[in-house]
Chain A
Amino acid sequence: MSLEDKVQKIQESFGALKALGRDPTSLEFDRVTSPTEAELDGKKMILLGTNNYLGLTFDESCVAAAKGAIDQYGTGTTGSRIANGTYGLHKQLEQRVADFYGKRSAMVYSTGYTANLGSIAALAQSGDQLLIDADSHASIYDACRMSDAEVIRFRHNDPDNLAKKLERLQDRPGDKIVVTEGIYSMLGDSAPLKEIVAVKKEYGAYLMVDEAHSLGVMGAKGRGLCEQDDVEADCDFIVGTFSKSIGTVGGFCVSDHPGLDALRSISRPYMFTASLPPAVIAAAQQSFDQIDANPQLRDRLWRNARILFDGLEALGFKLGPEVSPVVAIMLPGKEVAVRFWNALMEAGVYTNIAIPPSTPNALSLLRSSISAAHTRDQIATALDVFAQVGADLDLIPANKADRRRLAEAQGPLRIVTGGNTQAKPVQAPVQEEQRSSAAKG
């Protein structure tokens, strides 16, 4: 097939959808003014699709750390980690990540994508078997293509299917490496990690968990699903990204395994790309400090997630299976997803659109991600927009949207306290907390 033919094929695939409105692949924000607001074509936009879970992108201490690092070390390293691109800062961040997880050592990569690519392809070699969840992120699938190991999929979040496959491999030589994720980015569902750990222990496999969407989000200390499910000791490798709750860019692999450092000499995505610039390293370190110091950020995040999930569910939208900072609306097809996404943006709400083939079960999804930095007013405004647009597109019953408008018009919920006939509005302290948090980070 000629290059022209390839281009034409791509245009045929996406042209019709692009004709329905904006091109999701080339959206351009004029300005981003806070973790939750931006301007697009001169219009103010509530950001509800950035995976900026803790809102740390504008945290004052993180911004100051980044600026200080630029002043001290310059704008970039101009080299890879194995050449001139490792500074003391990079080693400090690796130690910081290892300490955060209570693990022996960590490797920092330039993105979360390369962290998966580099870790998986280096760990799983010829003669080994990789067992990946069917709904794995593209970076895990791409890592499998890069690895010389045999690749086997197991049904999404299905420990029994995994067990069946490991059983069939019992007599085969080679390491068995199971790869799963904490929170899955498409539907916001989380892995049954305890059950998966039980299976991996029964069959002597290694386990790698990608905590990209669960770092800073789950667990008492924010270490992710492994911490929340109390299986950290049985999780052999954790990979993650700095581009979501950490608020910058980069990725890592952390482990107690004494061989982790040896991967630095064979992990091609680690060896053959430029290392992270000093400002990014400094901001990431500071973000870990903020996660340690501000557990209330996670409380706000989950409170906001609950408000958004419940609000959308009450409107009649079909959502993902569990309350999560990723809230996905399932839609009947690609076209309506594109129309919905465009209409929300016209009304001032930015979300993510996800359509086949990049979605599980060929679903068309409108994905929102909530942040600790969202105010209740912002979430309420967004829900009003969802109600209006959803009703306009016949995705929800118009009466549900009307009921929401009526409830809004009646003002905040009222409660009556013991013996007092004077009704008091329910307080919404979260807004003030969030404003002060945004100011001081």
Chain B
Amino acid sequence: MATKASVEGDIIRLLGEKIESDLTLTADTNIVADTGLDSVSVMDFVFELEDEFGITVPLDRISDVKTVGQLTDAIYGLMEETT
């Protein structure tokens, strides 16, 4: 069973594969401002998360998300609703 910590770890691993810099990703990392990804790439990254965690992410659930930690909260919340 996935825990919030394991979900955060997975998100950091998947996000790390997408960025070119050797930035150390943490819960406080700002996904757009710190990683160099543009907003379109971030939205495509959400598709990867949907596949990884077997969920659907409605736009309003991530509209205010800025950091990895906030993204983890949103994804984990949706996983709990799904199960």
Contact = CB atoms under 8 A, between A and B. Distances in A.
Contact of A152 (B41, B43, B58): B58
Contact of B59 (A151, A165, A169): A151
Nearest to B82: A168
B82 A356 contact: no
B22 interface: no
Contact of B56 (A152, A357, A361, A362): A152
Interface in A186-228: none
Given A168-B82, A356-B38, A361 B44 contact: yes
B40 A153 contact: no
A414 interface: no
What does DSSP make chain A's interface, helix, strand, loop or mixed? mixed
Contacts of B56: 152, 165, 168-169
Interface string A157-172: 0000100010011000
What does DSSP make chain B's interface, helix, strand, loop or mixed? helix
Contact of A153 (B41, B43, B55): B43
Contact of A362 (B41, B47, B59, B82): B41
B82 A357 contact: no
Nearest to A165: B56
Given A150-B60, A151-B60, A169-B56, A360 B82 contact: no
Contacts, number: 35
A152 B58 CA distance: 5
A152 B60 CA distance: 9
B59 A152 contact: yes
Nearest to A161: B47
Interface string B33-44: 000001111011
Contacts of B47: 134, 153, 155, 161
A283 B45 CA distance: 45
A356 to B, nearest CB: 6
A362 B58 contact: no
A218 to B, nearest CB: 27
B1 to A, nearest CB: 19
A359 B39 CA distance: 11
A108 interface: no
Contact of B40 (A161, A168, A357): A357
A150 B78 CA distance: 14
Interface in A355-393: 356-357, 359-362
A359 B44 CA distance: 12
12 contacts: A134-B43, A150-B60, A151-B58, A151-B60, A152-B58, A161-B47, A168-B56, A357-B39, A357-B40, A359-B40, A362-B40, A362-B41
Interface of B: 38-41, 43-44, 47, 55-60, 82
